[in-house]
């Protein structure tokens, strides 16, 4: 266990009885990134009274739906954990008092998982939502996002490589997102009609990152060519 500034702890979180010196109430961030943790390890977090926890980074581990079920509170970063729709269902049923940033990239989430997400009790608090690299979300997933009537505080939304087309952009335009400032939709497949939607978003002072999948592939090919020269 490594103690960092501002009551941030970095390293493996073991059983509570082995960490008696931790001032639990003042822990605001717990960084467990890349610690090779599995679902069984996560249940030990519930032993700690981390009621003021604002940030919990669990990325690059092997946490699946069972691990999410064991998680009890905090800000949730589950990138590259493959929690799937079932894990997202567990997550949506937990009351995260302070949760306002949710990172779910590379998690095998589909449009069905979005149905669970929009019913989560913490949804109105979110200011950042990262659903990138979940190619099965697709247009239907964005349509399911409309079931939550108003994304009141959302300022940043990441939907790159989520299988969107012009139809998905059309659904996105219909979602109320009054504070949105940054939107990442690159790596999807849009036509000129989709670009018209993008131009409209930009007129609303939203920063839109929107290179298509073909644009990105061309850029990679050019990089390879330049390296060979």
User: According to the model, what pLDDT value does residue 182 have?
Assistant: 97
116-127 pLDDT, tens digit each: 999 888 888 899
**Residue 158's domain spans which residues?**
109-228
- Please tell me what DSSP assigns to residue 136: B
Within a domain: 168: yes
Within a domain: 77: no
CA 128 to chain centroid: 8
User: According to the model, what pLDDT value does residue 161 have?
Assistant: 95
Determine which of 2-6, 14-18, 189-193 has the lowest per-residue pLDDT on average.
Answer: 2-6
Average pLDDT estimate for 60-64 = 56
Q: Give how many domains the chain has, as a whole number.
A: 1
166-174 helix and 138-145 helix, angle to the nearest 10 degrees: 0
Q: With beta carbons less than 8 A apart as the criterion, state whether 198 and 168 touch.
A: no
70-98 pLDDT, tens digit each: 554 434 455 665 777 877 776 677 656 67
The three-point CA angle 42-48-54 to 5° equals 80
CATH number at residue 203: 3.80.10.10
- Judge whether residue 175 has pLDDT over 90: yes
- Judge whether residue 139 has pLDDT over 60: yes
Residue 133 to residue 61: CA distance in whole angstroms: 17
Q: With beta carbons less than 8 A apart as the criterion, state whether 174 and 197 touch.
A: no
Within a domain: 140: yes
pLDDT higher at 193 or 20: 193
Structure tokens belonging to residue 4: 């960092």
User: According to the model, what pLDDT value does residue 120 have?
Assistant: 86
Within a domain: 59: no
Within a domain: 104: no
pTM given for the model: 0.71
């Amino acid at each position: 266990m490594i103690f960092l500034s501002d009551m941030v702890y970095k390293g493996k979180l073991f059983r509570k009885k082995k960490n008696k010196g931790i001032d639990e109430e003042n822990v605001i961030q717990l960084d467990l990134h890349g610690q090779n943790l599995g679902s069984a390890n996560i249940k030990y977090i519930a032993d700690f009274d981390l009621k003021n926890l604002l940030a919990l980074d669990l990325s690059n581990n092997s946490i699946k739906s069972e691990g999410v079920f064991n998680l009890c509170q905090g800000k949730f970063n589950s990138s590259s954990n493959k929690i799937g729709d079932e894990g997202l269902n567990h997550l949506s049923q937990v009351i995260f008092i302070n949760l306002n940033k949710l990172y779910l990239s590379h998690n095998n989430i589909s449009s069905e998982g979005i149905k669970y997400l929009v019913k989560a009790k913490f949804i109105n608090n979110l200011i950042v939502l990262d659903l990138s690299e979940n190619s099965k979300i697709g247009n239907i997933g964005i349509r399911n996002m409309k079931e939550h009537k108003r994304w009141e505080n959302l300022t940043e939304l990441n939907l790159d490589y989520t299988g969107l087309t012009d139809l998905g952009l059309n659904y996105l335009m219909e979602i109320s997102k009054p504070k949105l400032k940054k939107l990442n939709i690159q790596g999807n497949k849009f036509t000129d009609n989709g670009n018209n939607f993008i131009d409209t978003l930009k007129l609303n002072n939203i920063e839109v990152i929107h290179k298509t999948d073909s644009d990105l592939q061309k850029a990679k090919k050019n990089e390879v060519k330049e390296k060979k020269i």
